[in-house]
Amino acid sequence: MKNVVIGFSGLLLLLLFPQSVGASGLVTIDKAGQVVWNVLSSEDPKDLQITEPGDVSVKQIAQLGNQTNASITLKKKDGQVSLEVLSDSGKKEIDVSDWQQNLVEIEERPEVQKLSIGLSGGKFSLKQGSIVALTDLPIDVDAKLARLSVQTSTGTRFVSILPRQAAYSLLQAKYISELNSSMELKESSDTNIVYHISGERVINLFNVYNYRVPVDGEVSASTGEIVSVNEPIWLKVIGFIFS
Contact 153/120 with Cβ under 8 angstroms? no
- Average pLDDT on 40-61 reads 35
Q: Per DSSP, what are the bridge partners of residue 58?
A: none
| pLDDT attached to residue 2 | 42
Q: What average pLDDT does the structure give for the chain?
A: 79
Q: Per DSSP, what are the bridge partners of residue 210?
A: 204
160-243: CATH architecture: Roll (3.10)
DSSP per-residue codes, the chain: -HHHHHHHHHHHHHHH-TTTTT-SEEEEE-TTS-EEE----SS-GGG-----GGG--GGG-----EESS-EEEEEEETTEEEEEEEETTEEEEEE-TT--SEEEEE--BTTB--EEEEEETTEEEEEETTEEEEE-S-EEEETTTTEEEEEETTEEEE--S-HHHHHHHHHHTTS-SEE-S-EEEEE-TTS-EEEEEEEEEEEEETTTEEEEEEEEEEEETTT--EEEEE--HHHHHHGGGG-
Give CA–CA dist 129/162, Å, rounded: 12
Neighbours of 231 (CB within 10 A): 16
Neighbours of 26 (CB within 10 A): 22
N-to-C CA span, the chain: 70
> What Cα–Cα distance (Å) separates residue 16 from each residue in 61, 86, 141?
10, 25, 28
- Average pLDDT on 145-171 reads 94
The region of weakest confidence among 36-45, 125-134, 164-173, 195-204 is 36-45
Neighbours of 190 (CB within 10 A): 8
pLDDT tens-digit series, residues 163-194 = 999 999 999 998 999 999 889 999 998 889 99
Domain positions in the chain? 20-159, 160-243
Q: Is 152 exposed, middle or buried (0-12, 13-18, 19+ CB in 10 A)?
A: middle
pLDDT tier at 11, thresholds 50, 70, 90: very low
Contact 193/185 with Cβ under 8 angstroms? yes
State pTM to two decimals.
0.77
| pLDDT attached to residue 242 | 58
pLDDT tens-digit series, residues 27-36 = 889 888 888 8
